[in-house]
Structure 1
Amino acid sequence: MAKTVTCLFGSDSQASAIVRELEQSGISQGKICLFSNSGDNRFWDGTSSFDESSGGAHHDRVEHYLTSNGVPRDDAHAYAEGVRRGHALIAVRCDDDEVDRVVDILDNDNVLDLDERQNAWRSEGWSDYGSGVTDIGTGSATTSAGMMGSAGLPSGGDMRDRDRMEDDRLYAQDRSTGRDEVIPVAEEELHVGKREVSHGRVRIRSHVIERPVQEQVTLSEERVAVERRPVEGSVRAGTLNDGDLFRERTIEMEERAEEAVVSKEARVVEEVVVRKEADQRTETISDTVRKTEVEVDDERGNSVSRTGTTDTNR
């Protein structure tokens, strides 16, 4: 008897990789169904069509397709909610001899635990009762064998409490039946966390500039002057020897001058220090939370009671 193995993955890319692995293992393309929030869908061969032109949200059409082709309503509702939240659904129709092979492939580290996801969704206000689409495919001979987490254990609709699901469908509905009417009393709690945000950036950059400077310095310079001048009169006799007058002589004088010598010396005149200083402050967060209040008008005793929670210890 054919079985349907269903699995929810976190992203389209993860699901696409699993689909390729299924096909490489010999699973026929017509046995693999894929739904994603992006609309990249593929369907089982020989099944009811997926009405793209019908009204309503994409995940509602996913739920209708699954229920129309034999997936239990509560399972289809949960998987459609996963698709709505951006996950990807893989559903494989396989024969008895293919079940183990399909489960081994779907039992991937990226598979999502459907029960954990539903618990988280319920804590956010999601109701896991059916979306009201018509189930026209419950007569199919195909059964559902879902997966839970990475253990590969079945968690299909047959393992769920159908009576509890039926009670959930009676929430806030004005209809008269032979059963109890149930109104859920809910209350929100405020949880305040914190996160780091950027308030800007300080960038300090050093660079070198040049500026012209001038200094004055006094320099001395020597020059040798050669002058010829006439001598009047004659040399007195006896003052110089005739040999001294005709003696060869050499006189040398050197000219010297000062020139400017430039040298530079670097010295630190200032320091720029950058540091971060942290302090703490207490901020009061104001918001609103909702709760359900139930008023009971008891005409038998003319008394009115009001409650906002079912916890008697509050």
Structure 2
Amino acid sequence: MSKTVTCLYQDQQKAGEIVSRLEQAGISRGDISFYSTPSDNLIDDLENDGVPRTDAYAYAEGVRRGGSLVAVECDDDEIDQVIDILDDDGILDLDEQETSWRSEGWQGYDASTSGGTTGRLGAAAAGLAGSLTDSPASIRTDKAGASGRDEVIPIAEEELHVGKREVGHGRVRIQSRVVERPVSEQVNLRQEHVEVERRPVSGTAQAGTLGADPFQERTIEVEERGEEAVVSKEARVVEEVVVRKDVEQRTETVSDTVRKTEVDVEDDRNIRGTGTTDSADGKR
């Protein structure tokens, strides 16, 4: 059974990316619907795709507030694949969006009235919501000419931006440490020694002949002196290690490839009797 999956995205660019991914996954372009501008027929179109009227009103309100709606019609065996693609950054809960809008005065669907959504319209909604119905409105791009539905092929072009970042190329580490080594020097030292000698006196020397009273008390004191080695150290700089970092500028050419979307438009309506092929930039 055919089902439709719907998702509301915050802007047209994000929705366009999703459409491209769906096509790359093999979803037929004719099964994808893309809504980016408000339309009086939007609610009816969604209901025709199986979206409940209350949800259709909410989706229409999201589109009016700047969002873009994608709906995909798919078979049961494709639902999981489609949902995986639709569930991307930027998708929001529809219930949360409705709560926010109601706080601003939006009243939602009223079965007693036949008009469109009521309430205040304004700032672009910053998100999207997704729903799966029994006959779900999944991202479906209808054929050109359907009222209120846009056929959109995003034209993208990449630009090359070259920045800079610092990277390390190794480092130089210098660490000083103190080591000891044995040294020796020779020095001549003087040492005094006092010797005491007793010797006999020979001959006929008499007491008192030496010019002093031999019985007088006397004290003789002689000090021994000597030299000892004294060590002192003096530090002097014999060499220097200088570390400096030089900076040089160089110009490097960075080469890469960028992608660009090109679109060829084939018009086989035989206008003025000839067929024409227009490129995306308008040249013929």
- Bigger radius of gyration among the two: 2
Give TM-score, length-normalised by structure 2. Answer: 0.45
Give TM-score, length-normalised by structure 1. Answer: 0.41
Greater RCO structure (CA 8 Å; 6+ sep): 2
